[in-house]
Amino acid sequence: MHAIRKPYLLFLGDVGSDIFAKTAHGLKDWCPEDCVAQWRLPDCAVDLGLEELAPEAALAAGARSLVIAVAPIGGALPPHWVPAILAAIEAGLDIVSGMHGTLAAVPAIAEAARRRGVRLHDVRQPPAGIPIATGRKRTGKRLLMVGTDCALGKKYTALAITREMKRQGIDASFRATGQTGILIAGSGVPIDAVVSDFVAGAAEILSPDAPQDHWDVIEGQGSLFHPAYAAVTLGLIHGSQPDAMILCHEPGRMRINGYPDFPAPSLVTAIRHFEECARLTNPAARVIGVSLNTARLSPEQRSDAIEAAMDETGLPAFDPVASPIGDFVRGFAGALDHAA
pLDDT of residue 330: 84
Give the distance from CA 161 to its chain's centroid. 13
Using alpha carbons only, give the angle 96, 100, 104 rounded to the nearest 5 degrees. 55
d(CA 38, CA 52): 5
Q: Could you give the CA distance from residue 276 to residue 152 in angstroms, rounded to a whole number?
A: 22
Q: Note the pLDDT of residue 19.
A: 83
State the SS3 of the chain: CEECCCCEEEEEECCCCHHHCHHHHHHHHHCHHHEEEEEECCCCCCCCCCCECCHHHHHHCCCCEEEECCCCCCCCCCHHHHHHHHHHHHHCCEEEECCCCCHHHCHHHHHHHHHHCCCEEECCCCCCCCCCCCCCCCCCEEEEEEECCCCCCHHHHHHHHHHHHHHCCCCEEEECCCHHHHHHHCEECCHHHCCHHHHHHHHHHHCCCCCCCCEEEECCCCCCCCCCCHHHHHHHHHHHCCCEEEEEECCCCCEECCEEEEECCCHHHHHHHHHHHHCCCCCCCEEEEEEECCCCCCHHHHHHHHHHHHHHHCCCEECCCCCCCHHHHHHHHHHHHHHC
What per-residue confidence (pLDDT) applies to 336?
Answer: 61
Distance CA 336, CA 340 (A): 6
244-249/255-256 β-pairing:
unpaired
Query: Where along the chain do the CATH 3.40.50.720 domains lie?
Result: 2-122
From residue 115, give the alpha-carbon distance in Å to each of 5, 60, 85, 142, 229.
19, 21, 14, 42, 40
d(CA 15, CA 11): 10
- Decide: 30 and 159 in contact? Cβ < 8 Å: yes
| pTM: predicted TM-score of the whole model, two decimal places | 0.89
**C-alpha to C-alpha distance for 107 and 68, rounded to whole angstroms:** 18
Q: Along the 340 residues of the chain, how does pLDDT read in single tens digits?
A: 678 999 999 999 999 998 889 899 989 999 999 999 999 999 999 999 999 999 999 999 999 999 999 988 777 899 999 999 999 999 999 999 988 889 999 999 999 999 999 999 999 889 889 999 999 999 999 999 999 999 899 999 999 999 999 999 999 999 999 988 999 998 999 998 999 999 999 999 999 999 999 999 999 999 999 999 999 999 999 999 999 999 999 999 999 999 999 999 999 999 999 999 999 999 999 999 999 999 999 999 999 999 999 999 999 999 998 878 888 888 776 666 654 4
The CATH architecture one would assign to domain 2-122 is 3-Layer(aba) Sandwich (3.40)
| Amino acid identity, position 67 | V
Rounded CA-CA distance 141/41 in Å is 45
Report cis status (omega within 30 of 0) of the bond before 7.
yes
Q: Where in the chain is CATH 3.40.50.300?
A: 141-339
**CATH homologous superfamily of 141-339:** P-loop containing nucleotide triphosphate hydrolases (3.40.50.300)
* Cα 165 from chain centroid (whole Å): 17
Q: How far apart are CA 199 and CA 70, in angstroms?
A: 27
Q: What is the pLDDT of residue 334?
A: 66
What number of residues does the chain have?
Answer: 340
Report the alpha-carbon distance of residue 172 to residue 34 in Å, rounded.
Answer: 19
Burial 73-111 (b: 16+ CB within 10 A, else e): eeeebeeebeebbbbbbebebbbbbbbeeebeebeebee
